[in-house]
Amino acid sequence: MIPYTSIIEQNAAIFREIFGAKNVLEHHSNFDPDAQLEKNSEYTSLIEQKLRLSSENWDIPITVTTNVQFFESLFSNKSSRCRKLHNLANSVIILDEAQMIPTEFLKPSVMALSELVVNYGASVVICTATQPKLAEILPRYIKSHKIMDSPGELYKEFKRVDLSYIGELSDSELAGRLLSHKQVLCIVNTRKHAAALFEKISGEGNCFHLSARMCPVHRRKIIGEIKDKLKNGEECRVVSTQLIEAGVDIDFPAVYRLMAGMDSVCQAAGRCNREGKRKSGDVFVFRSSEDHAKTAGWLSRTAEIGEIVIKDFDDPMALDSIEEYFSQLYFHSGENGLDTEKILEMIEENGRALKYPYEDIGQKFRFIKDSGSDIIIPYDSRSKSVIENIRRTGFIGNAFRKLQGYVVNVYPDEFENYEKAGLIELVCERFHILTDIDNNYSDNVGLLNRNINGEDLSLLIK
């Protein structure tokens, strides 16, 4: 299971090359088989039909899916989600970027994995550069084993960057530093901060912005342009939210990261000297003096703990540093903070009477809360053709899937502002389409600012 679209798409493409398209199911909300047919000669309509059926029950050798699909299916009461679970018996479950399991659901997620291992013959492999301390949460009858010998030595052998904490910076000071680099990536925590910082550097050379204000098709296009600039040794300065941190195979000589949890800092560092072509890359961690850079709640707490670790350890990315980070994170979360919806309590209270509240559990176990509304961007000729076909025929068919790559999720207050301004067209009572795209969507930053706030909304996908 994988948390990010970018990782899923890359990994699934590699698996298809190795094992053949008929043996690999890519299962997530953004996957469009029609697009695969256009670019993959091996991906025939017959294979497409087979994979559509397999997506319901995962009866295929290799399934590449998301944390959301996997864990929410385990706790669901819906037959459409549960019918695939029998195929997890005797399977090998590889959990990539394990630190991305939301902490508030960590205990029930780990217990579900334990159940699959003990009673259903599954094997679970946990992969990440920042290993969370799951052994402390596992039940006593589960024994974990390290696959790699001498991980400390491996860390030293593969260390490719030097990390420096450079204190507090204003956007003007940060922009000056970014412009002093020919090629540089800067990652911040909010879309508003990313847009403001990009505006300060955008007049100089090749500058790019990446955030969930841009629809996925647009982001993929920009990432392709960035890779070309880097490959050709051209000027390339990028300001991005966290969405670039995991799975985007990209290599900068220097990376700036606004203070965050150590898992995010390490992921950002993975975009620096990624290919090891330099003796060492430079990672700079900073705080911001700007109001639009501030976050609250979970992101604020992880940043505070990350700063403690950065200041206390000579090498904040070393294994003992990461272990200390997760120890403090779990301690400050408290016992209830690892199962905030009390999923395990609901199971234990009713288990002996075999009166499990399946519906209540299914409703409460949601990695992604309903925190925003989707606006569809008619970004290119393909999306415009799909939208026009819906208008003309009133037939929806597989349009939801075809338009997933053109969605931008916004907070309710901003969605309301767009509606009041008459900039949303409701098609077939299902699709909210952005109108007047020329004045409301930018090739540089995506959907234009109408009272945006908060962190990026697309860190996890279904």
Q: Give yes or no: residues 297 and 384 share one domain.
A: no
Q: Give yes or no: residues 111 and 226 share one domain.
A: no
Q: What is the mean pLDDT of residues 382-393?
A: 93
Is residue 46 assigned to a domain? yes
Which is nearest to 109 in space by CA: 351, 247, 333, 100? 100
Is residue 362 assigned to a domain? no
Q: Among the three residues 118, 152, 186, which one is the final residue of a domain in this structure? A: 152
Q: Indicate the pLDDT class of residue 66, thresholds 50, 70 and 90.
A: confident
Q: How far is CA 23 from CA 1, 60, 159, in A?
A: 17, 6, 35
Q: Give yes or no: residues 117 and 224 share one domain.
A: no
CATH number of the domain bearing residue 307: 3.40.50.300
- pLDDT above 60 (res 43): no
Is-contact 302 265, C-beta < 8 A? no
Which tokens belong to 226? 């960035």
Greatest alpha-carbon span in the chain: 68
Q: Give yes or no: residues 185 and 304 share one domain.
A: yes
Start-to-end C-alpha separation, the chain: 11
Domain that holds residue 226: 153-319
Is residue 358 assigned to a domain? no
What total of structural domains would you count in the chain? 3
Q: Give yes or no: residues 106 and 174 share one domain.
A: no
Is residue 168 assigned to a domain? yes
Is-contact 209 198, C-beta < 8 A? yes
Q: Give yes or no: residues 295 and 388 share one domain.
A: no
Q: Mind listing the pLDDT tens digit for each residue in 228-237? A: 999 999 999 9
Q: Among the three residues 276, 304, 319, which one is the final residue of a domain in this structure? A: 319
Q: Give yes or no: residues 10 and 138 share one domain.
A: yes
Q: Give yes or no: residues 31 and 130 share one domain.
A: yes
SS3 state of residue 410: strand
Q: Indicate the pLDDT class of residue 42, thresholds 50, 70 and 90.
A: low
DSSP state of 190: B
Q: Give yes or no: residues 164 and 136 share one domain.
A: no
Q: Give yes or no: residues 231 and 380 share one domain.
A: no
Q: Calculate Rg over the CA atoms of the chain.
A: 23
Q: What is the mean pLDDT of residues 379-390?
A: 94
Q: Among the three residues 152, 187, 202, which one is the final residue of a domain in this structure? A: 152
- pLDDT above 80 (res 129): no
Is residue 342 assigned to a domain? no
Q: What is the mean pLDDT of residues 162-174?
A: 96
Dihedral through CA 424, CA 429, CA 430, CA 435, nearest 10? Answer: -20
Q: Mind listing the pLDDT tens digit for each residue in 47-58? A: 555 555 556 678
- pLDDT above 80 (res 174): yes
Q: Give yes or no: residues 80 and 167 share one domain.
A: no
